[in-house]
Every structure is written in structure tokens, then in C-alpha cells.
Structure 1
Amino acid sequence: MVMDSKVVQKLKPYFGVIFLQFGSAGFGIVAKAALNQGSSNYTFSVYRNAIAAALFVPFAYFLERKVRPTMTFSIFWKILLLSLFDPVIGQNMFYAGMKYSSATFASAMCNLIPALTFLLAWILRIETVNLKSVRSHAKILGTIVTVGGAMIMTLIVGPIIGLPWTHKSQDNSASTNVEDPVKGAIMIGTGCLGYSLFYTLQAITLKSYPAGLSLTAMVCSLGAFLGTIVTFLAERGNTSVWALGWDAKLLAYVYGGVISSGITYYLSGVIMKEKGPVFVTAFNPLSMVIVAIMSSFIFAEQMTVGKVTGATVIVIGLYLVIWGKSKDQKEIEPTQQQQQESKAETNPSANIDDTKTDLTNGSETITGPDAV
């Protein structure tokens, strides 16, 4: 039983990131339907984050009131930047860029997020990289291979693989009217950079403000507020963009708020505490594999050799990243244990006090990220 619990504990982060990618894949489908119905990318961001804030604020207030750290100017500044990087810059720039380019091109560029996050984490020394070690080579190569696999899925078609549940459809190679591909590339690239900055800064912020529910609630609340200001400036006089109805747009707002903003921000933060931002974003291209499979069943879209090849390459790349991260974990754990033992030997009275504190707190309800 002890061995089983240890295995489950080690597998939790992997189940978590896979769940996030299923959520991302589902959001891609409903968001596409909403944008096709004329949803404004600005109000999309506002409603999505407002719904997430409304859901998480009560939980954050009641469950983390005893463990919530004191707010300082430094922490507030980081939370403000987080609210700008993803809810405002990332979401708005990515969807706006799609209007100037094809969906295929946008999806391909979105897979730069793992590489950008790895680079930022390396520069800021969040991610351990030793160019002489095999595990670091595996992480670097795995990130490159994963991004390459995503590019293969989106840019290479190849022969159609006949599956019984897909239509033998006509070759719909309708071209997209690209108004300004350069402008679209700049916007989407800026959005991807915003996402990468968000993940990197989130990992840093959680070290000084570990209350994950409260952090999620504040990021979504500030994101909705700042997004509202941006929407009023961008959609001056156009009040129709705020209209709500019982349609695909409302479904996308609710799904995006609950899954893609609220749960994703919180769960990714929990996983980051153990594995870091690179581990979380390394699985992003997996959502493309999930979308391809789901689309073949839901929309009867044809499966091609390019998609299957790209999916295989993504799995290989993910394996390399996971292997490298597992080797990092094996090296970090003994070091942390030695530090704890050294601390206990040098200050035994503090260790006794800690034990008393743990026994006293043992009767209290565990809340916040530690309850996950």
C-alpha cells in the first residue's frame, strides 16, 4: 500500500498536465465556434476571466484565509503583471492575430510556447540546465522535438488514412483570405510570448505567495478589470459586443472561464511547485493530438499521415523531456533530504518546536494547494 501511494503521488503531476491538455483541446473547439459566430476577442477575454473570478473568489476567501500570505507591493506588482501577460496580452493578441492569418498558421505558432518558456526559465535560472549532463541534453532535445512534431501536424498533410468513422469527404482546400500575414505573425507571436511570460512569472510568484486559489482569483479579477478597460478603448461605441445569448458564445465564455482560466491557472500552479513551468508547457503540443482525434470523431475530419507522424514525434519529444525531468528530481530529492538532516542536527530545539507546531496544526483542516 505504501508503494502504491508513492507511485500515485509521483503520477499526479502527469495526470494533471494531461487533464489540462484535454481541457485546452475542448476549449479550442468551443472557442472556434464562438469566434465564427462573431464573438469579439476583447469581450471573450473579459467574460472568460470574470466568470473564473466569480467562481474562485469565494473558495479563495474561505479556504485560504488562514494560510494567505500578507500582501506586499512586490507581490501585488507580480500579480498585476500576471494579469497583463495572459488574460490581457496573451488572449487578446492571439485571437486578434488569427483574424490576419490562417488557423493552421496560428496553431503552429502557438507551439512556440514550450520553447519560449524553456528559454525564459533557463535565463532566470528556474530550470536547471547543465550543458555537460545527459539529462539537460534530453530536456533541450525533447523540447525541440516536441515543437517540431507540432509543426509537422499543422504544416504537413500527406495521404489520407481511411478510418471507418470518418467521411470519405471531398478535398476541401479552401484558402483563407489572409489580409496581412506579417501583422498576424507579430500579433500571435506576441500572444505566445505573453503566455510564456505568464507561466514563468507564475512559478516565481508562487514561491513568495503560495496561496494558489487566492492567486488565481486575483489574476482573473484583475485580468477582467484590465480587459474591460482595453475593450472600451478598442470597441468604442460598439455596445453590441457585450450582448449575451443562449448560444455557442456563452458556452465558450463559461467553459473558458471555468476550465481554461480558473482551473488551468490553479492546477498548473500546483504542478509548477513540484515540476516547474517547463514541465507544464512541454505538454502543450499534446492538445493538438487530442484535437485531431476528437475532430475525427466529432466532425468526421480526415486523419492524415502528417497528423499521425507529428503525433508520434510529439510523444517521443515528451518522453525525452519527462526522462530529463525525472533525472533532475532524483538528484534534487537527496540534496533536500541532506539539507533537512543538517538543519535538524545543528538546531535540534527548532526541530522539536516544529514537531509541536505540526501536532497542534494536525487537528486543523488542510486547505489551499496542499489539499490537492
Structure 2
Amino acid sequence: MAYGWYCYKDMVAFTGMVVVESINVGLNILFKAATRKGMSSYVFIVYSYLLATLLLLPSSLFFHRSATLPPFSFSLFCKICLLGIIGSLTEIFGYAGVDYSSPTLASALSNLTPAFTFILAIIFSMEKLVLRSSSSQAKIVGTIVSISGAFAMTLYEGPPIVLTLSPSKSLHWPHSLLQSNWSIGGLLLAAENLLVPVWFIIQANIMKEYPVDLVVVFLYSLCTTVMCAAVALVAEPNSSAWRLKADISLVAIVYSGLFESFISTVIQTWALRLKGPVYVSLFKPLSIAIAAAMGVMFLGDTLHLGSVVGAIIISIGFYGVMWGKAKEEMMEGSGVGSLDQSSTQTTALLQHHISESCRKNTLLNDG
């Protein structure tokens, strides 16, 4: 009986989180493959959000059909629109970054979110910095190490260390162009992960004012769809770019709107309740190895030394920040030391970084 419970809590949870990271990386792999076939990243975002919005509409109506909803104000609508703007920029920067670089770089730089959250928490006085505290020291060092690793991974490509398993068109580009695209992609992905904690702060404020999850999620998704569509119509005026074909592009859109959001969300929610947020977040660096392996196998990407070195440095910094937050939570639970309310709020923001994109994090709250 005890052995069966151990398998349920540990082995099944471990397997589930590996599946989650594989699913998350799979979306970037499919997206990258679809863009190589000519699909526009703007069109992909619009169709993915449109599908999610259509799925959320009946869900919000069904689950809140008999509930008395709180009053909806114009200021709340403006906040949701602002959330939509931040979410739109996050999605555009993120997918454009993958298009310019690779899923491996995207997976590595996603681990910058805790470091950026910690920096923003200090700037907005959400967290007090105690230099003599080992947890604060760990977060400071981890933040510096993570950002250093991001610079190394973005600016230094290095020699190839793995032979490609399939031909890739990008291998025929001039090296200077490859390095330029890689750096642009890295900057876009860094901007995405800087916007994620900003999005969390705004979302937390909205949920305090209007704690009706599905309604907020639906309105956010609707606003983001409209905003991304407006940008896409300017960026992609050619009507042929909007025509969907029964190829990898359609698979990527359906995967993003259905498979990715649903299965990944359910497993993450289950693991979050069973093992806690720190356990779930510990699997984030695993996505780097998964992305590198899948990129080589399915996209014909070449793995370079700079990617490996930078990913290792970012992962070390990531674990440093998360160790600092975990120690603060332990101190709070045991009553040792004093954590103010703002530090607790920052911990809550860090817990949410386990999801790759803002929309998936929002759906996680409803799962």
C-alpha cells in the first residue's frame, strides 16, 4: 500500500511533468516547422486565440449560468484591455523569437522569468531586499547568473557540437545572417519573459477586483484575439497568408488551441495540487534538453556550444532563485523570520511562471 502511494505521488508526478514539458516544447517545434512551410506567426497567434476564445465562451456561460456575478465597471474593462495588450505583445515577441532563433533558445530563456519577477518586485516595492538573508543572497546571485547566461546564449553561438540528423534550409544561410537572426530572436524572447511578470501583476490586480476566473479569461482571450488580428492585418495584408491548408500549419494551430492548453493544463494543475509549485517549477530547465533533442531530430537544427553553456548557466541561476523562494516559504511556514505581505505576493507571482505563455497560465487558474 505504501509502495503504491509512493508510485502515485512520485513516479506518476515525475512522468506527468516530463510529459508537460514535452508538450510545451512540442508546440514550439510544430510552430517552427509550420513557419518553415510559410505560415505567418501573426496568423498563427490569431487563429490559436480565436479557437481558445470559441472554446471559452460556452465554458464561461455554463459554469456561471446560475451565479450572481459582481458588477462589471468600465475601469475593469480598461484593465482587461491592458492585460490583452501585454498578452498580445508577449505572444508576438515569443513566437517571433522562436521564428528567428530556435525552440531550444526559447526554452532556455523562459527560465529568466523568476529573475525578472524578482527584479520587478524590487522596483515596485513588492519585496524588501534583506542583504544579510541567505534567501535574498541566493535570489540576487541567481538573477545575475541567469541574466549572464542569457547574454552568453544570445550573443555567443560557438562551434557546432552535434551533427544534424536531417537537412535544414537554415544551414545554407550566411553565418553572419544566422548570428544576426539568433541575436534578434534572443532579444525578442528576453522581452517576452520580461513582460510575463508584468502580465501576472496586472492579472492579480484584476482577479482581486473581479474574482470570476472564466469570465476574465474569456474577455482577456477575446481582447487579445482582436488586438492580434489588428496587428496581423497590417503585418500580413496578403489574403493568401490567412488561408489554412491541411498541413503542419493546421496541426500546429489545433495543437495550440486544444491539445496544448487542455492536457498540459490538467497535468500541471494535478501536479501543482499534489506536489506544490516548487516541485512543478523544478522541471522547467528540463525543457532545454527536450527542445535541443527534438530540434535536432525533427527540425535538423545544429546544437552549438554557446547554447549548451548558456543553458547550463541559466539553469543554475534559475535554481538559485527558486531555492531562495523555497527557503522563504519554509521560513514562513515554520514562523522563523518575518515575511511581509508583499513578499508573499511575489512568491505567488513566481509560482505562476511554470507555464510557457500567458494564455496557458490563465487557463491553469481555471483548470
| TM-score interval (norm. to shorter) | 0.5 to 0.7
Residues 1:321 and 1:78: Cα distance change in structure 2 (over 3 Å): same
2:266 & 2:79 partners in 1: Cα distance? 16
Q: Which residue of 2 aligns with 1:358?
A: none
2:263 & 2:143 partners in 1: Cα distance? 25
2:281 & 2:125 partners in 1: Cα distance? 16
1:103 & 1:69 partners in 2: Cα distance? 44
Residues 1:192 and 1:159: Cα distance change in structure 2 (over 3 Å): closer
Q: Which residue of 2 aligns with 1:142?
A: 142
Partner SS state of residue 202, structure 1: helix
Offset at residue 61 of structure 1 (A): 2.8
Query: Any conservation in 1 of the 2:76–2:206 contact (CA below 8 Å)?
Result: yes
Offset at residue 123 of structure 1 (A): 2.7
Query: Any conservation in 1 of the 2:166–2:299 contact (CA below 8 Å)?
Result: no
Larger Rg: 1
Percent identity between the two aligned chains: 30
Q: Is the counterpart of residue 32 in structure 1 residue 48 in structure 2?
A: no
CA RMSD of aligned residues (A): 5.0
Q: How does 1:204-223 map to 2 (within 5 A)?
A: 204-223=205-224
2:332 & 2:67 partners in 1: Cα distance? 27
Residues 1:261 and 1:205: Cα distance change in structure 2 (over 3 Å): farther
Offset at residue 219 of structure 1 (A): 1.7
Q: Is the counterpart of residue 43 in structure 1 residue 43 in structure 2?
A: yes
Query: Any conservation in 2 of the 1:143–1:282 contact (CA below 8 Å)?
Result: no
TM-superposition CA deviations, 1:60-94 (whole Å, max 9, x none)? 332355678525334333322221112x2222244
Q: How does 1:145-224 map to 2 (within 5 A)?
A: 145-149=145-149, 152=152, 155-158=156-159, 160=161, 172=171, 174-175=173-174, 177=177, 191-224=192-225
What runs of 5+ residues in structure 1 fail to find an aligned partner? 339-367
AA aligned opposite 2:123: I
TM-superposition CA deviations, 1:200-236 (whole Å, max 9, x none)? 3234333444444433322212211222233334444
User: What TM-score results when the alignment is normalised by the length of structure 1?
Assistant: 0.66
AA aligned opposite 2:292: A
TM-superposition CA deviations, 1:14-73 (whole Å, max 9, x none)? 999866543331111111112122222322211010111222333333235567852533
Larger mean Cα displacement after TM superposition, 60-69 or 240-249: 60-69
Residues 1:68 and 1:220: Cα distance change in structure 2 (over 3 Å): farther
What is the aligned residue count? 333
Partner SS state of residue 246, structure 2: coil
Q: How does 1:195-344 map to 2 (within 5 A)?
A: 195-236=196-237, 238-258=238-258, 286-299=286-299, 306-333=306-333
2:77 & 2:216 partners in 1: Cα distance? 10
Residues 1:331 and 1:59: Cα distance change in structure 2 (over 3 Å): farther
Query: Any conservation in 1 of the 2:146–2:315 contact (CA below 8 Å)?
Result: yes
Offset at residue 158 of structure 1 (A): 4.7
User: What TM-score results when the alignment is normalised by the length of structure 2?
Assistant: 0.67
1:307 & 1:295 partners in 2: Cα distance? 12
1:77 & 1:10 partners in 2: Cα distance? 44
Residues 1:332 and 1:90: Cα distance change in structure 2 (over 3 Å): same
Partner SS state of residue 160, structure 1: strand
What runs of 5+ residues in structure 2 fail to find an aligned partner? 339-362
Query: Any conservation in 2 of the 1:220–1:261 contact (CA below 8 Å)?
Result: no
1:286 & 1:199 partners in 2: Cα distance? 23
Larger mean Cα displacement after TM superposition, 278-287 or 151-160: 278-287
Residues 1:306 and 1:243: Cα distance change in structure 2 (over 3 Å): same
Offset at residue 193 of structure 1 (A): 4.1
Larger mean Cα displacement after TM superposition, 7-16 or 108-117: 7-16
TM-superposition CA deviations, 1:324-352 (whole Å, max 9, x none)? 122121233356xx9xxxxxxxxxxxxxx
AA aligned opposite 1:254: V
Query: Any conservation in 2 of the 1:114–1:281 contact (CA below 8 Å)?
Result: no
